Structure 1
Amino acid sequence: MTPEPDADEVVRVAILDDHAVIVDGIASWIAEHAPDLRVVIRTTMWLDLIRHPDFPVDLVLMDLQLGDTVSIESRIRACRAAGAIVVVVTALDDDASRERCLAAGADAFVSKTFPVEDVVAAARRALRGERAPAAPKGPDGSGASDDGALEVSAPPEAALSAAERRAVGLYVQGMSTADVAASMDVGYETAKTYLRRARDKYAKVGRPAGRRAELIRRAAEDGMLE
């Protein structure tokens, strides 16, 4: 019998796909066959992922096509900035889509025509640091997607200035405050003030941003990672 991994060794996983049946199917397979992984977020909506109390996670299995207006590049960058490995699992398995996702920072790109065990194998390789190109096409070569739009409520407007938005956008993508200052050609204290004011404005409208992970969520919600 295979011993259960320690709690601190288990990889925390989020699954994002606009088909709930796919989300549940992947989660069920992982629960039964992958004791080293634990699904903590299941969702069909991007905003539900980044607003979830368990975000950020270690690994995100993400559909390429969702029924909202947030680009795949923004979604990948937001997850990567939060420290997550990103595996894109998609029915749109073509060279242009693969290159688009990998260029944005995805760690792997896998066709939905492959069984879940192959998706998990690709995720494990990515977790080991083996950032590889897309897997070959599956047996049927393609898959249909649902283009129906999902309605999401807009978060309260924090009314950041252009400079504050710029500072936040740089900071949440991994820059230090000093790096933000250099990139914006302003002093360190000025950059620090921009970030403090942005956090304060978010707090005033009920959108916590005190921690970097929270600020990443706010930036993703407000389209700063395009």
Structure 2
Amino acid sequence: MCGWSSDMTPEPDADEVVRVAILDDHAVIVDGISSWIADHSPDLEVVIRTTQWLDLIRHPDFPVDLVLMDLQLGDTVSIESRIRACRAAGAIVVVVTAVDDDASRERCLAAGADAFVSKTLPVDAVVAAARRALRGERASRASGDRAGASQAGDAGPVVAAPPDAGLSAAERRAVELYVQGVSTADVAASMEVGYETAKTYLRRARDKYARVGRPAGRRSELIRRAAEDGMLE
């Protein structure tokens, strides 16, 4: 678990408050980091605190500016998919983990995480790493903080399945590609179809989601729909 330290003073140069989400399957971690940030970092505001991936992306305050995310959760969505979804929504991602090995670090950074830090560090060090990421100082794949323990997640409550939008195979594939943060032109190239065809697939998918009461007009909303339908696994 992250240790608590009180010797860090907030950075005074932030012009705007950074909106933060904390995702960890241990509520004590979520509450502890949230409390530390509230007490010591007025330029950061924790707007989402959750132990469940779907609760994060369904939250009305998502997307946020910064996500502090546990590596291992008790669900089937891979860390790569979670990172890519948050990055596609415009968030900086810091993976905070008790799992310390080069393969996990490589997986996270290759998927787009901006930092990979250990839960054995005090919270001020975790926040310092987050601030570096917010400044654009992305972590190197060759080095980083190390943790020695492993972490197991609880499955958590069962989430009811949302209404089926009835996407075609092509529409589903277009959505899968688009929510990774690529452009419509890149979707077309990957699917080997014309730009207008790819655009039509995405429009039809959005329309179908809307018809069953699941808004998908914005990319962040489409990311939520994709996660709910298992496209990010």
Q: Distance in 2 between matches of 1:56 and 1:161?
A: 27
1:142 counterpart residue number: 148
More displaced stretch, 76-85 vs 92-101: 92-101
Match of 2:116 in 1: 109
The answer for unaligned runs of 5 or more in structure 2 is 1-8
Could you tell me which residue of structure 2 aligns to residue 172 of structure 1? Answer: 179
Would you say the 8 A contact 2:10–2:43 is kept in 1? no
Q: What CA distance in whole angstroms lies between the structure 2 residues aligned with 1:67 and 1:174?
A: 25
Cα separation, 2, equivalents of 1:158 and 1:199: 9
d(CA) in 2 for partners of 1:159 and 1:51?
Answer: 20
Match of residue 62, structure 2, among 55, 58, 67 = 55
SS in 1 for 2:64: coil
C-alpha displacement of 1:97:
1.1
1:172 alignment partner AA: V
Partner of 2:85 in structure 1?
Answer: 78
Number of matched residues?
222
Q: Distance in 2 between matches of 1:2 and 1:102?
A: 27
Residues 217 and 116 (structure 1), Cα distance of their counterparts in 2 relative to 1, 3 Å cut:
same
Counterpart residue number, 1:219: 226
Two-structure CA RMSD over aligned residues (Å)? 2.0
- 2:190 matched residue in structure 1: 183
Q: What is residue 4 of structure 2 aligned with on the other side?
A: none
Q: Secondary structure at the match of 2:22?
A: strand
TM-score, length of structure 1 as denominator length? 0.91
Partner Cα separation in structure 2 for residue 180 and residue 2 of structure 1: 42
Q: Which has the higher contact order (CA 8 A, sep 6+)?
A: 2
Q: Does 1:200 align with 2:188?
A: no
Q: CA deviation at 1:2?
A: 8.1
Q: Is the 8 A contact 1:112 1:143 kept in 2?
A: no
Matched, 1:43 2:50: yes
Contact 2:25 2:153 in 1 (8 A): no
* Structure 1 residues not aligned, in runs of 5+: none
Change (3 A) 1:23 1:2: closer
- Separation of aligned partners in 1, 2:54 and 2:126: 24
C-alpha deviations, 1:36-76, integer Å up to 9, x for none? 11100000000000000000000000001111111111100
Q: SS state of the match for residue 21, structure 2?
A: strand
Asked if the contact 2:109/2:115 (under 8 Å) is kept, the reply is: yes
8 Å contact kept, 1:207–1:218: yes
Which segments of structure 1 move beyond 6 Å, counting only runs of 4 or more?
1-6
